[in-house]
Amino acid sequence: MSPLDQDAALAHGATANGAQSYAVPAAGVARHHDVSFEPELEGSSYQTAPITSLALARWTWAVAGLLIGTLLGFLSATGGGWKSTATIQINGANGDANAIKTVGQTLEATALADSVLGTAVQALNTNPKFAAARCLKQEKGALAGSITPLWNTDSSLVTITAKDASSLCAGYKATAVAKAVQVKIIADAQAAIEQHTADVRAAMTSQTLGPASSPAENSRLQQLGTEAGTQQANELAAKQSVSVIDAAVALPAGPDRNTSALLGAAGGAFIGALAAVAAGAGRRKPHSPRELVALAPDLTVRTTVQAGELAGRVLETGRRSVAVLAMPDTRFAATQLAMAIAHHLRTHGATVAIVDRVSEFNPTNASEDRLWALRRDVRRNVPANFSADLLVVVCGADEEALSLIAGQSDLMVAVVSKQRKTSLADIRRTVDAVRVSEPVVVLAR
């Protein structure tokens, strides 16, 4: 039996190759029997997916970015608070860069010396202004951890930066440490003067060269006096070798953990959404009709339960044939849709022939004429070829089927895809091949 005879028999309820097809006679409905009639349809234009739709389609990326950003922001936060800086000015170095460098590095180490910290702690804890500012009682270990001495390269300045939860307390701490450094320098110079004075006195009374009136003894005493005067002058200069500029302005030490976490969350969510937009929608497999409409606003999207609307569209446009194209993994859904459309058409009084070329289709033994029902000459004369008013063909969305109906608008095409299985790129590729017929994308569960 030829393919034409087989499908003509199917129109009267016979079966072929195990595929069930049938037609129910009913009163005819008004039709355009002129084979040259073609409804004038407007093709829908291609539109790219909106940025918001792309971001929402992969909202998990934004959530992942938000969580990662929050964590990184929280970990990178310095804890907030305030920082204030007091300055130690190096005097009397006569512009000698090496001498300034040596003194500056020495002052850096001196600021963290135990005696300096002890002096600063005592000064802070006994300062009524420090207590009035509600600053915490200080200990040497805590104070050492909150200050940072730094010699500014190629300058005669050493900064003492202190951090605290209060701006006033940070200023008091920085100033106290800087003044404690100055106190130590003055104390060390005074101790050196006293020690040298004692050494000179001891030298004057010992190892004499004769009576005090003798020329040798007189010369020795004069030499000792000159050396003592020079040394004392040097030590007095050492007392004035540094001066302290009190801390005046406190600045934020850095964002607190909450602020850093919020900024990190915002940045991470933005980067995640940006990555989702950059990834595009081509490989996305829509999870719902709403998502598909959002990603492809130019497509006409329906579900399998809207078969009645599709049948009404066929009747309204006066078309005689319907092609249901099954994407991979949608054979059952495509067959059910074709049967539902036929049922609704019969409800309106039309006789319908169903040609099922997908339920029992086997690519290994498929014949070349398995899709002969999609030929234009066959579809143009449905009553003669199938003894029915309308024809519903369900087949796979392969190249052979698309080539038979591409560029033609005298039939309605329903492209059946599957949620979470069919990519948007595959849907578009199929729709673009038959765009002239204004295809409908049916998203099956």
Q: Give domain status of residue 192, yes or no.
A: yes
Q: Taking Cα atoms as reference points, which of 259, 119, 253 lies closest to residue 188? A: 119
> What CATH number does the domain containing 338 carry?
3.40.50
Instruction: Kindly report the CATH number assigned to the domain that includes residue 94.
Output: 3.30.1890
* CA separation, residue 300 to residues 195, 304, 392 (Å): 100, 13, 20
Could you tell me if 309 and 373 lie in one domain? yes
Task: Please tell me whether residues 44 and 90 are part of one structural domain.
Answer: no
382 inside domain: yes
Let me know whether 319 and 420 are in one domain.
yes
38 and 159 in a single domain? The answer is no
Cα–Cα distance, 424 to 5 (Å, whole number): 38
State phi, psi for 296 to the nearest 5 degrees: -135, 80
Residues 182 and 298 in one domain: no
Q: How many structural domains is the chain composed of? A: 2
Per the CB < 8 A criterion, the answer to whether 394 and 332 are in contact is: no
Closest by CA to 419, choosing from 284, 323, 298, is 284
- 92 within domain boundaries: yes
Residue 264 lies in a domain: no
Q: Are residues 248 and 303 in the same domain?
A: no
Per-residue pLDDT in tens (0 to 9) along the chain, 445 residues: 444 444 444 444 443 433 344 333 333 333 333 333 333 333 334 445 677 776 777 778 888 888 898 888 877 766 668 888 999 888 866 667 888 888 888 888 999 999 999 999 999 999 999 889 888 899 999 999 888 999 988 888 899 999 888 888 888 999 999 999 988 888 887 887 777 777 766 766 676 666 666 677 667 667 767 776 676 666 655 556 677 877 766 666 666 677 788 888 888 888 888 887 777 666 778 888 888 888 888 888 888 888 999 999 999 999 999 999 999 989 999 999 999 999 999 999 999 999 988 766 555 444 455 688 889 999 999 999 999 999 999 999 988 889 999 999 999 999 999 998 998 889 989 999 999 999 999 999 8
Q: Residue 60: inside a domain, yes or no?
A: no
Residues 293 and 436 in one domain: yes
234 and 110, same domain (yes or no) = yes
Are both 300 and 431 inside the same structural domain?
Answer: yes
In Å, the largest CA–CA distance within the chain is 156
* Tokens of residue 394, six digits: 């369900």
Indicate if 95 and 42 belong to the same structural domain: no
| Residue-number span of the structural domain to which 122 is assigned | 82-252
Two tokens, residue 118 = 């002890």
Note whether 237 and 371 are same-domain residues.
no
